[in-house]
């Protein structure tokens, strides 16, 4: 009879730990998705839009966007790589 009570206590004690692990895994996946989506957005802005729209490149907008968006895209690429490594280590 005492063994059943100990199992209930053990389950109740482990619930916060399980929730913490689930929240941590969710945070890693959310970080990976955010970095990847941002990288795709900046890559489209930097490399695809100038090829599709000649006005974008000739009007000078491209020359103002490029120096600001390229470093941010590189930071997002690094964040995506680190998030992928975190998912790999977590599994």
Q: Record the tokens describing residue 58, joined without a space.
A: 């000739």
Q: Tell whether pTM > 0.75.
A: no
At 6-42, the pLDDT tens digits run 444 444 555 454 545 556 777 777 878 888 888 888 8
pLDDT tens-digit readout, 32-82? 888 888 888 888 888 888 889 888 878 888 888 888 888 988 988 888 888
The sign one gets for the Cα dihedral 66, 69, 71, 74 is: negative
The label of the residue with tokens 């490399």 reads 47
Any idea of the CA torsion for 25, 29, 90, 40, to the nearest 10 degrees?
-170
Q: What is the pLDDT of residue 2?
A: 52
């Amino acid at each position: 009879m005492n063994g059943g009570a100990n199992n209930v206590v053990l389950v109740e004690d482990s619930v916060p730990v399980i929730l913490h692990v689930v929240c941590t895994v969710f945070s890693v996946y959310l970080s990976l998705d955010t970095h990847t989506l941002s990288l795709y957005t900046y890559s489209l802005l930097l490399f695809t839009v100038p090829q599709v729209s000649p006005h974008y490149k000739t009007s000078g907008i491209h020359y103002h966007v490029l120096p600001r968006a390229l470093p941010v895209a590189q930071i997002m690429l690094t964040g995506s790589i680190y998030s992928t490594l975190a998912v790999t280590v977590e599994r």
